[in-house]
Amino acid sequence: MRKKGLFITLEGGEGVGKTTNLLFIKKFLEEKGIAVEVTREPGGTVLAEKLRGLLLENQTELISEKTELLLMFAARAQHLKNVIEPALERGDWVLCDRFTDATYSYQGGGRGIDTNLIAWLEQFVQDELRPDLTLLFDAPIELGMQRAKKRGALDRFESEKLDFFNNVREAYLQRARQYSERIKIVDATQSLENVQSDIQKLLEKLTSDLL
């Protein structure tokens, strides 16, 4: 695939403010004259949203770790083919709420699945496609969970134990160290105003390099 647009992903634990900031980023880019496709994972197509429902619902039947991993990548394959790749080929920028760094962090860090296996699936499903920029919203687990609880009933992931989220956070931070060129950490404990000022600086740099 010949990619023309840029692919930006937002990552982080529960309740770190990704969704609020997604709209801020969309507006920022559109004001620069960039066409933006906003989407999310798991989800983004009719089928992938159905898989999201299955993954997030609190099920009576236990979902095995392998099933969870494969459903995440099944949703991703559909999303890439039907939404992400066509948008990038049109020259639009894609702004995606979570992508494969979430799989490394939740299924790898959280569930303990071998990251070599995740890397194999990543290559199989995505070929060479990787995000150009990833904003990692980072906050202590307790803060994020307080915010998530305020939103209402907890989903299957949000109902996990503290240890799980600590491992997810650690895996995200480890990836940010490993891919420091691509993954930029945003301190999500700050006021919304300061968070957005940090985001703006990162985007100004990215767009001034390119536009």
Interaction site with ligand TMP (CB under 6 A): 40-42, 72, 98, 102-103, 106-107, 157
Residues 6+ away with beta carbon under 8 Å from 75: 41, 42, 43, 44, 47, 48, 51, 52, 55
Can you tell me the distance from the alpha carbon of 114 to that of 104, in angstroms, rounded to the nearest whole number? 9
Q: Which is nearer to ligand TMP, 121 or 199 (CB)?
A: 121
* C-beta of 41 vs 92, nearer to ligand TMP: 41
Shortest spacing between CB 93 and ligand TMP, in angstroms: 19
Strands 93-97 and 133-138 come out as unpaired
Task: In angstroms, give the least distance from the CB of 119 to ligand TMP.
Answer: 13
Distance CA 80, CA 67 (A): 20
Indicate the angle between helix axes 65-79 and 46-56, nearest 10 degrees: 160
User: Would you say 52 or 184 has its CB closer to ligand TMP?
Assistant: 52
Least distance (Å) from ligand TMP to the CB of residue 73? 8
Nearer to ligand TMP, 18 or 184 (CB): 18
Least distance from C-beta 205 to ligand TMP, angstroms? 26
Q: How many CB atoms lie within 10 A of CB 128?
A: 7
